[in-house]
């Protein structure tokens, strides 16, 4: 399946040297997908008709930052739903889903979420196989979806993260954590 990787930040050189770039991390996480990187943070958004699905990465930026590329990305994410394309958002990408579809994203009242965090699965959609009751994921964020967008189903949460994962219809899936990161 041909998938556009919407890269929303450049990994700092010291970290990239030791841990890889976002395209490398996601290629290792999703080896069965043909991922084609597009650096959304540099204004490179692909033609939606060229791809079956889209994965949106994390970023040091906030979805509410007044940057043209973020505004363009939010509009693009909304358009993908109208085109019935699949969109998976990771951390910043998860927040893109929230903001683009009418939710609210803010700095967490709990401050930075760093390290391994546990989440309770609150809804088990049909595609969750095997179905689990909880999971751990690496976190590195200070922003969160505080109010889910209309029609969203919260899939997981924790005491310090009310929307750990969400799904909107059959086209949007967001995960607040960083499954592409390693502990190192």
Residue 1 pLDDT more than 80?
A: no
Q: How many of the other CB atoms lie within 10 Å of CB of 43?
A: 11
Examine the pLDDT at 108 and tell me if it is beyond 90.
Answer: yes
In this predicted structure, the answer to whether residue 4 has a pLDDT above a threshold of 80 is: yes
Average pLDDT of the chain, as a whole number = 95
Closest CA to 20 of 42, 3, 4, 5: 5
Residue 152 is given by DSSP the state E
Spell 58-84 as b/e; 16+ CB within 10 A means b. bbebbbeeeeebbeebbebbbebbeee
Q: pLDDT confidence of 55, banded at 50, 70, 90?
A: very high
pLDDT tops 90 at residue 20: no
DSSP structure string for 47-98: -GGG-SEEEE---SS-TTS--HHHHHHHHHHHHHHHTT-EEEEETHHHHHHH
Average pLDDT over every residue of 63-87: 96
- Give this prediction's pTM: 0.94
DSSP assignment string, 24-35:
HHHHHH-TTSEE
Mean pLDDT of 94-106: 97
Give the three-class secondary structure for 142. Answer: coil
Task: Give per-residue pLDDT as tens, 127-152.
Answer: 988 889 999 999 999 999 999 999 99
Residue 28 has pLDDT above 90, yes or no: yes
């Amino acid at each position: 399946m041909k998938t556009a990787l919407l890269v929303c930040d450049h990994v700092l050189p010291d970290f990239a040297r030791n841990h890889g770039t976002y395209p490398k991390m996601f290629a290792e996480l999703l080896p069965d997908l043909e991922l084609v990187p597009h650096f959304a943070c540099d204004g490179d958004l692909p033609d939606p008709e060229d791809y079956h699905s889209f994965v949106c990465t994390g970023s040091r930026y906030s979805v509410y930052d007044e940057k043209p590329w973020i505004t363009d990305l939010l509009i693009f994410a909304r358009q993908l739903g109208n085109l019935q394309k699949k969109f998976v958002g990771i951390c910043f990408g998860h927040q893109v889903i929230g903001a683009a579809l009418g939710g609210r994203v803010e700095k967490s009242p709990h401050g930075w979420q760093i390290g391994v965090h546990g989440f309770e699965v609150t809804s088990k959609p049909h595609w969750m196989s095997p179905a689990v009751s909880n999971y751990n994921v690496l976190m590195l964020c200070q922003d969160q979806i505080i109010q889910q967008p209309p029609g969203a189903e919260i899939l997981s949460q924790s005491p310090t993260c009310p929307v750990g994962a969400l799904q909107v219809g059959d086209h949007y899936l967001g995960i607040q954590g960083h499954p592409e990161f390693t502990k190192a």
